Amino acid sequence: MGLFRIFRKGKVDENVIEDDDVDAARLAANSELERQRAQQSDLQREIARATAMKIDAIEAAMAADIFNEPEPAWARKPRALQPATPAAASDEATLPMLDQYTTELLGDEDMPLEAAAAESAPIVEEIAILYANGQAEVAEQMLLGSLPDATQDRTVWWMLFDLYQVLNKQESFENISIDYASQYETSPPSWVPPAAAASAAPVAKGGYAGVAPTLGLAGTLNASVAPQLERLDEMDKKQPLRLDFSRVNGVEPEGCALLLAALKKVQAGERDLIVVGAAELAEQVRAILTIGNRDVGEAPWLLYLELLRLLNREKDFEESSMDYCVTFEVSPPPFVAPKKVANAPRQSTAATSDRFMLPAVIEGDITTLLGSIDQYASQAQALVFDCSRLARMEFGAASALQSKVLELSAGDRRIEFRDVNHLVAALMRLLGYADMARLFPHKY
């Protein structure tokens, strides 16, 4: 109305100007109030969103606690090791009792029903033959097709896990790990990278086969292990080395420092290394570590990281590196994938002698390999073949080796094949190895 009054009178009315100023001020005040309300609404929405995210995270953590096994807490007491089963003292040729982490394949009457049925199943035997003759892709498809029927028996799962590790198919391995954990409600196997190319070559192409010197540590890992670790310098550096931590039942900072230095020295020489019980030793070392506490020094922390690296547990390594960084306020060591390293679970008893390490591939003319086995047999009454690196045996070569084992088994000589992958174990059982030797496939 003030505007019409202006035009009607033809001049500006002071009262009109004052009314307009009030209206403008009121409008500005209303605009500012609306802006503040909008900001307050945005803030409330952000708070609500953050709260919802926090609730989701808590629910996810609760679900993980319910459906997954919890990670061991820092400074938790180490899990008690199972007592070793003493070997029979009446017979020097008797080998140690069964390792608690392996399954023995004997005659059908001595085997668990599930294992016996699995190993005698035609589909398992057919897959074993296909893989032995180099048809890994066909074997993979048959294993995948057999998984839906593998409800109680896990043999085809274990064979497929081994196949993916041999072929270095980590993504495929992790994909079936999810299905395996869901079906059996248990933790899936851990990924273990294949051996380095030089170590994986067959004997005819430079792959090593022969006795692997063994150094076993026992008791508390402390300053007293120094003389034992010094023996590493006396061993043939051209041969693979087997380090066995199975009987270590305690750790101290001084021993951690000595073992760390020894591991670094062995790997600097690019020597093939077989580590037994590294995961169990890592748990014992972890038990004396506390984030933010420097009392034990850096050596146990660095040994723990080194054991994780040898186990190729990169995720655990990275997480623990951050804890080390927080504790000592220094940069952690980088993760470098292990080379020429094979891992085996803790053994319940120590081997009676150094083991004969089989090569990664046994195929073609194996005359050289059989000659090395004869030499080993002439010096040892009980024969232990280490299969931790053995990825594949060709059918014909496996038959030739079976004939040699039959010859060596005369006179009730005890023979064992340890840490056999399930693809090879199925082939060995098909060819009758279990009738003359004890087979210990690695257990998932």
Q: 68-101 pLDDT, tens per residue?
A: 444 333 333 333 333 333 333 333 333 443 333 3
For 398-415, how does the pLDDT look when each residue is reduced to its tens digit (9 = 90+)?
999 999 999 999 878 899
Structure-block tokens of residue 439: 């087979």
Q: What percent of the chain has pLDDT over 90?
A: 41
105, pLDDT greater than 50: no
Whether residue 316 is predicted with pLDDT greater than 50 in this model: the reply is yes
191, 174 Cβ separation under 8 angstroms: yes
- Residue 109: the pLDDT is 35
Q: How much is the pLDDT for 149?
A: 81
In this structure, of 236-245, 304-313, 362-371, the range with the lowest mean pLDDT score is 236-245
Residues 6+ apart with CB under 8 A from 240: 199, 208, 212, 271, 272, 273, 274, 357
pLDDT > 80? residue 436: yes
Spatial distance between the Cα atoms of 141 and 127, rounded to a whole number of angstroms: 10
pLDDT of residue 88: 35
Residue-wise pLDDT for 212-229, tens only, equals: 778 889 899 999 999 999
Does the pLDDT of residue 324 top 90, yes or no?
yes
The CA distances from residue 123 to 137, 145, 393, in Å, are 15, 10, 18
* Mean pLDDT value of segment 18-24: 56
Only one residue has tokens 């004396």, namely 288
pLDDT at 341: 84
Work out the mean pLDDT of the chain and round it to a whole number: 76
- Looking at the chain, the number of H-run helices and the number of E-run strands are 15, 11
Alpha carbons 342 and 389: distance in angstroms, whole number: 7
Q: How confident is the model at residue 234, as a pLDDT?
A: 78
- How confident is the model at residue 195, as a pLDDT? 54
Find the radius of gyration of the CA atoms of the chain.
33
Q: pLDDT tens digit string along 24-64?
A: 656 665 666 666 666 665 655 565 555 555 555 555 545 44
Could you say which architecture CATH assigns to the domain 214-344? 2-Layer Sandwich (3.30)
Q: How far is CA 100 from the centre of its chain?
A: 18
Least confident of 198-202, 230-234, 418-422: 198-202
Q: 156 or 354: whose pLDDT is higher?
A: 156
Sheet containing strand 438-441, edge to edge, reads 210-212, 355-357, 383-386, 415-420, 438-441
pLDDT tens by residue, 116-163: 344 446 789 999 999 999 999 999 999 999 888 877 778 899 999 999
pLDDT at 1 (0 to 100): 47
Domain coordinates in residue numbering, the chain: 2-66, 214-344
What pLDDT band is residue 291 in, cutting at 50, 70 and 90? very high
